[in-house]
A and B are shown apart, each in its own frame.
Chain A
Amino acid sequence: MRNDNRPAQGLTVTNRLRTFDFVAGLFLAGCYFAMLVGTTDIGFSRDEGFYFKAAEEYSWWYDELLDDPSSAFTKKSIDRHFAYNPEHPALPKMLYGLSWRLFGKMHDPKTEPWARVWYHNSSPPKPILGIMKESTAMRLPALLINSLLVMFIWLFAAEYFSRRTALVASLSWMFLPHAFWHSHLACFDMPVVAMWFLVAWLFLRATPPLEERLRNRRQTWFRAILAGVAWGLAMSTKHNAWFIPAVFLAWYMIARYDEVLPRNGIGRRRLAFGNIPPAFWAMLVLGPLVLFLTWPKLWFDPIEHLKFYIARHAKHEFYWAYFFGFLHVKPPFPISFPFVMSAMTIPVPVILLSLTGLARAFREWIRRRADRFQLIRRPLPVRGNDTILFVFLNFLFPFLIIAAPNTPIFGGTKHWMPGVAFLAIFAGLGFETVLDAIRGLGERFAAFNRRTVRFAVALACLAVIMIPAARDTFHGHTNGSTYYNAAFGGFGAMGRLGMQREFWGNTAFSALPWLNENARKNAQIDFHDTAWDSVRMYWRDGLLRRDIKPLWDSERADYFLFHWHKEFLDLEDRSRKAMGDEVPVHVVEQDGVPLLNVYQRTERKPITSLPVVRPVGDPGGDE
């Protein structure tokens, strides 16, 4: 990679990606994949349960595709296989289903008759390779895509900033506890972060200044097509991607409006239609096309299904969010929510780096825009005068969407995570300030003037910044979505500050060993917030004794698993009174904060039947 500082051209650098960058990015992605695979002891969230079910049902379409391709593309076939969870694009679930079919180790109801209830239509397909747990097989595509994001971060940062920015940015992303936790799940939230980042990188590559585009028309169009296809795949991942063009358009109109609105001879601006970057055209044409092709539900009634899809998410129900001791249930939600939650749930060192990088980059961008290059003492290694703005808008926009007072909050941090990936770039830029300080040390003390010494000090600084973040990521990773950083009291912030503890019914996972050991034979368990499809996967993975029966009715169940949500405290009170015991028999806690209480019925009723009762009115749906 060549760094060519050109002060006259706005202190910009020109980097070309080399093989090393792909190798380095892939290596870090491999490390992240290993981190994820090594920590799969994470429970199944509610939405993941729904997607397990969808993936399984969709996967039967592949059989029809192989057995009778002509019927596989009929409306009847599509309606039959893709009926469930139509409010989200099918692509991720199709991948999860495909992976499950290829790698999953299924149970055979012939030898295990009890397994019939665990599968769609009471019968699993024959395993193909059968080399991993079913949940891991379902999660595998998400694990891979989410790992590739680390490589995308490296490549983006190396191309538009520097390799040291790429390294620090990649590490900063890898050691975010919430992102790490979500990266395990067979859901869409993290894959869409990866896709948003990929689209942004490809778009920026396809949109250099006009002169360069005109000079390399062929390359520009090739890259534009890649960006268009990537956006289509991003839309096929999750609806967050619909906002991407707005970000790009905002950036383009701020940074490059002269290209499409140049002044004519008499100084008046006119629209230069032909100067619109090809990437916009490619996205406009290819994006919807790819979405259409990869979502079978659109094949026969695209307009009606899109109307349903948009209406579903435009009028999404409000979820409850416990925020500083106040339960927010309907608008207006606090504008500060995504910003404060991020400040609380990103490790302190990464916050410090990010804020430093943001402040410095923004100040530099303003000076570059104002042509006040003489004020920039130590320029950041940035390619292009408006790259900082591009990264900043991609960081800010996802936050702003959730900050809008009428946007449902959903409680967690995952919905603005696409912005956090760009924040990692600013963390990478923040490290430049640390490097400047080390350089300053060399200027003042001869002992630090040697390049090797400065390099060693820089490495040591990077280590003391990243080790705490890494430790936060691995400590309590099973409950990683409940992490709060040390500045706010660590996990204790949940209790001390009155913040959301449990989010999506996944903590039942940590109570399973206790239940397996202590629950009597054929015990009936009220799993509370855990979805039926998640419980089915616990059985299939051998994590839950097969004789234990879920029964979402604390009046009758032998045990009640109360997932600690503020909004459910009245229910907890009623349930434990119904159980006849006010004190839990088992508590799942993280760093001393209870996340789940197990209540046991004091007097057991005679069991007359052993029904598997699904939760009443479980809507499936999404989170």
Chain B
Amino acid sequence: MKTPRKTMIAGFAIPLLSILFFGVSLRQTARVPSPADWEAAAAIVRQGWQDGDVVAFMPQWAQGASPWLRGLRVDTGENHDWYELSKAARVWLISSMNGRGDLPPEGWTMIDSRLMDKVDVSTWSPPRDRTLAFDFRGGIDKAVVSRTRGKTTQFCSNFKKNRWFCGQEHPWLYVGQESRDIAGRVRDIIWAHAVDRAVVEALWREVPRGTTLVVHYGLTQRAAEAREGSETVFSVLIDGKQVFSDTLKNDRHGWFRREFKLPGDGTSSVAFRVQADDPQSRQLCFTADAWK
């Protein structure tokens, strides 16, 4: 009985596929930059560096060049945050391996590009259709932070290390600057942990009008993975009127974005509220910017 054709195909497919994947494996290794490649890329960045620049990587995890970039502003997050990068004057992208050929999102303009053997260095200009008018995190000292239980409102007046405490310093019950792993990378955020039977509010009174308010919010990685506590309600109020509210389940991962128009002239008050029936590990974080 002759060996069936199917058996022959299956039998020879194994060594043939082995050869194919061997080739793939060798290629994957061959394209890895050497220290000399990283050093050369860093030298190009240093040569053209200007104030306000930032360095990122493509893919973002391929950060082997970092040691040669010390002293510069380098984004070492696990994944890109193109929104935050867009606040820089220019972004230097060091591309390598399977990131060569990948581009920033639409709207970014390439200023310069240097292709080398295993590394590419390109300079990018973020979208120029708007300018940052107000950074809420940077203006944390201007915030009015309070907790409301029923009809009683307690204002948090203890401001230390860019954090507002209601009374004594506390390891997690405050509103203020923090950095936390949220939805794929460590982000610079405003921390607003929910408080037992209270509504936490952070209010900025003088936010310029004629701008677009961009809000990001979400639970920290730790909070979402812990799956503790109850749902957390996050609300945005403009001039005392609630314009947005979202209820985050206790395991909801993500860094969510919402935009609101602040039309007209002068200033508006913008407030953010956080509340949860059971505040266990309800580490809500947000950022906000007003763009003109």
Bound CA–CA A356/B61 (angstroms):
35
Residues 357-388 of chain A, each 1 if its beta carbon lies under 8 Å from chain B, else 0 = 00000000000000000000110000000000
Q: List 25 A-B contacts (CB under 8 A).
A: A325-B184, A328-B225, A348-B17, A356-B10, A433-B10, A438-B11, A461-B15, A464-B22, A468-B19, A468-B21, A468-B22, A471-B25, A472-B25, A490-B29, A494-B61, A495-B61, A496-B59, A569-B181, A569-B185, A570-B222, A573-B181, A582-B74, A583-B71, A585-B70, A587-B66
Question: Is A205 interfacial (CB-CB < 8 Å)?
Answer: no
CB-based nearest A residue for B64: A589
CB distance from B173 to the nearest CB of A (A): 18
Bound CA–CA A309/B9 (angstroms):
52
Bound CA–CA A326/B69 (angstroms):
30
The answer to whether A583 and B67 touch across the interface, beta carbons within 8 angstroms, is yes
From the candidates B14, B18, B66, B181, name the one contacting A583 in the complex (CB within 8 A): B66
Chain A residues positioned under 8 Å from B10 (CB to CB)? 356, 433, 437
Q: Count of chain B residues with Cβ under 8 Å from any Cβ of A? A: 54
- Give the interface of A toward B (CB within 8 A): 325-330, 348-349, 352-353, 356, 377-378, 430, 433-441, 443-444, 460-461, 464-465, 467-468, 471-472, 475, 485-487, 489-492, 494-496, 498, 566, 569-570, 572-574, 577, 581-587, 589, 591-594, 597
CB distance from A169 to the nearest CB of B (A): 15
- List residues 143-193 of chain B with CB under 8 A from any CB of chain A: 179-181, 184-186
Chain B residues positioned under 8 Å from A589 (CB to CB)? 64
Q: A443-B2, A583-B76, A591-B29 are in contact. Are A464 and B19 (CB under 8 A)?
A: yes
Question: Is B221 interfacial (CB-CB < 8 Å)?
Answer: yes
Bound CA–CA A444/B181 (angstroms):
62
The answer to whether B74 and A464 touch across the interface, beta carbons within 8 angstroms, is no
Chain B residues positioned under 8 Å from A583 (CB to CB)? 66-67, 69-72, 74, 76
From the candidates B14, B61, B62, B180, name the one contacting A352 in the complex (CB within 8 A): B14
Chain A residues positioned under 8 Å from B76 (CB to CB)? 582-584
Bound CA–CA A498/B183 (angstroms):
12
Chain B residues positioned under 8 Å from A330 (CB to CB)? 225, 227
Chain A residues positioned under 8 Å from B32 (CB to CB)? 591-592
CB distance from B196 to the nearest CB of A (A): 23
Chain A residues positioned under 8 Å from B29 (CB to CB)? 475, 490, 591
The answer to whether A437 and B59 touch across the interface, beta carbons within 8 angstroms, is no
The answer to whether B14 and A433 touch across the interface, beta carbons within 8 angstroms, is yes
The answer to whether B180 and A436 touch across the interface, beta carbons within 8 angstroms, is no
The answer to whether A587 and B98 touch across the interface, beta carbons within 8 angstroms, is no
Known: A486-B25, A587-B63. 18 other contacts (CB 8 A): A325-B184, A434-B15, A436-B8, A437-B11, A440-B7, A440-B8, A440-B11, A464-B19, A465-B18, A485-B21, A491-B28, A570-B222, A573-B181, A583-B69, A583-B70, A589-B64, A592-B32, A592-B33
The answer to whether B24 and A486 touch across the interface, beta carbons within 8 angstroms, is yes
Bound CA–CA A441/B12 (angstroms):
10
CB-based nearest B residue for A588: B64
CB distance from B268 to the nearest CB of A (A): 33
Q: Count the A-B residue pairs with Cβ separation under 8 angstroms: how many?
A: 166
Question: Is B123 interfacial (CB-CB < 8 Å)?
Answer: no
Residues 40-70 of chain B, each 1 if its beta carbon lies under 8 Å from chain A, else 0 = 0000000000000000000101111011011
Chain A residues positioned under 8 Å from B135 (CB to CB)? none
The answer to whether A585 and B62 touch across the interface, beta carbons within 8 angstroms, is no
Question: Is B278 interfacial (CB-CB < 8 Å)?
Answer: no
Chain A residues positioned under 8 Å from B97 (CB to CB)? 492, 592
CB-based nearest B residue for A466: B18
The answer to whether B98 and A441 touch across the interface, beta carbons within 8 angstroms, is no
The answer to whether A440 and B2 touch across the interface, beta carbons within 8 angstroms, is yes
Bound CA–CA A75/B159 (angstroms):
60
Bound CA–CA A434/B17 (angstroms):
12
Residues 216-232 of chain B, each 1 if its beta carbon lies under 8 Å from chain A, else 0 = 00000110011100000
Bound CA–CA A430/B32 (angstroms):
34
Chain B residues positioned under 8 Å from A472 (CB to CB)? 25
Chain B residues positioned under 8 Å from A570 (CB to CB)? 179-181, 186, 221-222
Q: A490-B28, A589-B64, A592-B32 are in contact. Are A353 and B11 (CB under 8 A)?
A: no
Q: A329-B226, A434-B11, A437-B10 are in contact. Are A587 and B21 (CB under 8 A)?
A: no
From the candidates B61, B72, B181, name the one contacting A496 in the complex (CB within 8 A): B61
The answer to whether B8 and A573 touch across the interface, beta carbons within 8 angstroms, is no
Bound CA–CA A88/B15 (angstroms):
43
CB distance from A407 to the nearest CB of B (A): 18
Chain B residues positioned under 8 Å from A440 (CB to CB)? 2-4, 7-8, 11
The answer to whether A352 and B18 touch across the interface, beta carbons within 8 angstroms, is yes
CB distance from A582 to the nearest CB of B (A): 7
The answer to whether A353 and B14 touch across the interface, beta carbons within 8 angstroms, is yes
Bound CA–CA A569/B269 (angstroms):
35
Chain A residues positioned under 8 Å from B61 (CB to CB)? 494-496, 593-594
The answer to whether B62 and A349 touch across the interface, beta carbons within 8 angstroms, is no
Bound CA–CA A569/B28 (angstroms):
27
Bound CA–CA A577/B186 (angstroms):
13
From the candidates A471, A581, A592, name the one contacting B96 in the complex (CB within 8 A): A592
CB distance from B7 to the nearest CB of A (A): 5
CB distance from A315 to the nearest CB of B (A): 19
